Chains A and B, each alone.
Chain A
């Protein structure tokens, strides 16, 4: 059974950092591209970042709204994908989901609240 479990969310001040983790199981993680997608309260879905597999040199792509502040990474030995979020803004408040590319499995999401 495929499982994706996000952790690491919380309440932080603007300008601070937070690192999300997504633990996966039930599939061959090392050859799977992974995404982070977020959803602000009461809003629609917004793609955040994608990391490709080792065969694509772990290439990463980002939404313009997070480029230069967020970093997606992965640890194939642990079947985990991460999202390092720096210089957080109020507008980053959202539920963050990790999802396999092409979006066939989604985690339950983790809430990040940025507020002073």
Chain B
């Protein structure tokens, strides 16, 4: 199985500060189609997960452009240029290239 390793486990940041979350996979997520199926989702407290980014760097239409995704093969990063209050929650990366699908352990973003 592809192991997804997220760091850090938690982040405590003030509003306006930048954030960076790393996600590393134990195998390349580049698929035979030439696409890399690495996704980011956010689970706010008490809610179901919400979409953020797909295929490494593509933002869903409603996601603010302070979010960005980058990376390739086995190393990926989610960045928030300036954290806002609505960004708190747990961020997960997960891969859709290989079966079984696998999730990172999550990164909890708290506001300082």
A contacts, CB < 8 Å to B: 35, 44-47, 50, 61-64, 97, 99, 101-109
Contact = CB atoms under 8 A, between A and B. Distances in A.
- Chain B contact residues (Cβ within 8 angstroms of A): what range? 20 to 34
Contacts of A102: 37, 39, 54, 96
Given A103-B96, A108-B48, A47 B54 contact: no
A44 B41 CA distance: 12
B30 to A, nearest CB: 15
Contacts of B1: 64
Contact of B49 (A50, A61, A62, A97): A97
B98 to A, nearest CB: 10
A104 B54 contact: yes
B64 interface: no
B38 to A, nearest CB: 10
Given A44-B92, A45-B92, A47-B94, A104 B103 contact: no
Given A35-B101, A47-B103, A103 B48 contact: no
Contacts of B106: 44-45
Contacts of B96: 101-103
A109 B47 CA distance: 9
A101 B101 CA distance: 11
A103 B41 contact: yes
A107 B48 contact: yes
B66 interface: no
28 contacts: A44-B90, A44-B103, A44-B104, A45-B49, A45-B94, A46-B103, A47-B94, A47-B101, A47-B102, A47-B103, A50-B99, A61-B99, A62-B100, A63-B100, A64-B100, A97-B49, A101-B96, A102-B39, A102-B54, A103-B94, A103-B96, A104-B54, A104-B60, A105-B51, A106-B41, A106-B49, A106-B50, A109-B48
